[in-house]
């Protein structure tokens, strides 16, 4: 269940309260997010839509612990990340968050296997265990036969699938997707959304996604609109 009225009962996986984010550009103060509340349960798939500059990516960055709010709090699985130090936040990200970017952001000098293995380098897993996890993640996205390929040898869709495998390989608490289909053609975009959908349905993953693409957002259980830093329910209401 997803709520944006700030009246959740405290059992939500992600709990956002009175979130404010302001930037200062020169003498001008820009209020990107204003008093935002959000409750997302485990296993939910939420899409955020809205015009450019509405604060979607900022919200995602705050939820992922990449940025700090001006005020308000974010609690994920009982951890209030807005109170964490930078070092703790980095360790928290490694354990709890899987990121999927619009431009895939793979490391070009590493193979698909090595890219997916990156988050596991921060764990205590042995080499054999890491290999097993990577092979499983690549199998989930249907790229078992491309493990030794470098990003330049893969299509855009395949690169994004490697990025998804990298995001899920360490079994994070939730996935944050920033325009995951924004750089893909329709067919590849549908394939990517199918994989994300499957991660939610079959693997019980919690996904929070930003998208401009109504078709991609249509796959989500809940679509929320963000406009001028204020979160609103989509026309169909909340699930």
Partner 1 sequence: MKSFRLVWANLRRKKVRTTLTIGSFAVALFLFGLLAAIRVGFRGGADAAGADRLNVINRVSLILPLPLSYRDRVLQVPGVANVTYATWFGGVYQDERNFFAQFAVDKDTWFDVYADYVVSPEGRAAFMRDRQACMVGRALAKRFGFKVGDRIPVRGTIWAGDWEFNIAGIFEGSRPDADTTGMFFRADYLEENRQFGKGTVGWYVVKLRDPGDAVQVTKAIDALFANSPFETLTQTEKAFAASFVNQMGNIELLIMTIGLVVFFTLLLVTGNTMAIAVRERSGELAVLKTIGFSDPRVMRLILAEAVLIAAQGGLVGLALAKLVLPGLTRALPMLGVLYVSPLTFAAGFLLALAVGAAAGLLPAIGAMRLKVVDALRRV
| Footprint of partner 1 (CB under 8 A) | 61, 64, 66-67, 86-87, 90-91, 93-95, 99, 101, 103, 105, 107-110, 114, 118-119, 121-122, 166
Rounded to an integer, what distance in angstroms lies between the CA atom of residue 35 and that of residue 37?
Answer: 7
Parallel, antiparallel or unpaired: strands 71-76 and 230-233: unpaired
| Tokens 């404010």, residue located | 20
Token code pair at residue 110? 């590493």
Half-sphere exposure of 9 (CA within 13 A, CB side): 3
Choose between 8 and 98: whose C-beta lies nearer to partner 1: 98
Measured from the CB of residue 128, what is the shortest distance to partner 1 in angstroms? 13
Choose between 101 and 233: whose C-beta lies nearer to partner 1: 101
Half-sphere exposure of 67 (CA within 13 A, CB side): 20
Rounded to an integer, what distance in angstroms lies between the CA atom of residue 21 and that of residue 200?
Answer: 29
Measured from the CB of residue 208, what is the shortest distance to partner 1 in angstroms? 15
Measured from the CB of residue 118, what is the shortest distance to partner 1 in angstroms? 6
Choose between 58 and 158: whose C-beta lies nearer to partner 1: 58
Buried-exposed string 38-60: b where 16+ CB fall within 10 A, e elsewhere = bbbbeebbbbbbbeeebbbbbbb
Choose between 45 and 113: whose C-beta lies nearer to partner 1: 113
Measured from the CB of residue 135, what is the shortest distance to partner 1 in angstroms? 17
Measured from the CB of residue 170, what is the shortest distance to partner 1 in angstroms? 8
Measured from the CB of residue 131, what is the shortest distance to partner 1 in angstroms? 13
Rounded to an integer, what distance in angstroms lies between the CA atom of residue 15 and that of residue 215?
Answer: 27
For residue 98, the cross-strand partners are 175
Rounded to an integer, what distance in angstroms lies between the CA atom of residue 112 and that of residue 121?
Answer: 15
Choose between 39 and 179: whose C-beta lies nearer to partner 1: 179
Choose between 1 and 66: whose C-beta lies nearer to partner 1: 66
């Amino acid at each position: 269940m997803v709520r944006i009225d700030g009246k959740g009962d405290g059992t939500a996986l992600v709990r956002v309260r009175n979130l404010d984010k302001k930037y200062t550009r020169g003498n001008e103060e820009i209020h990107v997010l204003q008093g935002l509340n959000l409750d997302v349960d485990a296993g939910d798939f939420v899409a955020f839509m809205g015009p450019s500059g509405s604060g979607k990516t900022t919200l995602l960055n705050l939820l992922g612990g990449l940025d700090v709010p001006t005020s308000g709090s974010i609690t994920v699985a009982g951890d209030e990340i807005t109170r964490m130090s930078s070092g703790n936040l980095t360790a928290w990200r490694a354990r709890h968050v899987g990121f999927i970017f619009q431009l895939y952001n793979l490391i070009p000098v590493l193979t698909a296997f090595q890219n997916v293995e990156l988050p596991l380098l921060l764990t205590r897993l042995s080499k054999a265990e890491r290999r097993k996890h990577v092979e499983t993640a690549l199998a989930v996205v249907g790229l078992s036969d491309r493990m030794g390929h470098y990003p330049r040898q893969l299509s855009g869709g395949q690169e994004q699938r490697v990025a998804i495998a990298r995001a899920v390989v360490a079994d994070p608490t939730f996935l944050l997707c920033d325009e995951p289909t924004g750089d893909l053609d329709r067919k590849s975009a549908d394939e990517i959304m199918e994989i994300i959908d499957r991660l939610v349905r079959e693997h019980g993953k919690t996904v929070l996604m930003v998208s401009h693409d109504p078709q991609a957002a249509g796959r989500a259980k809940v679509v929320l609109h963000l406009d001028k830093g204020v979160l609103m329910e989509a026309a169909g209401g909340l699930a």
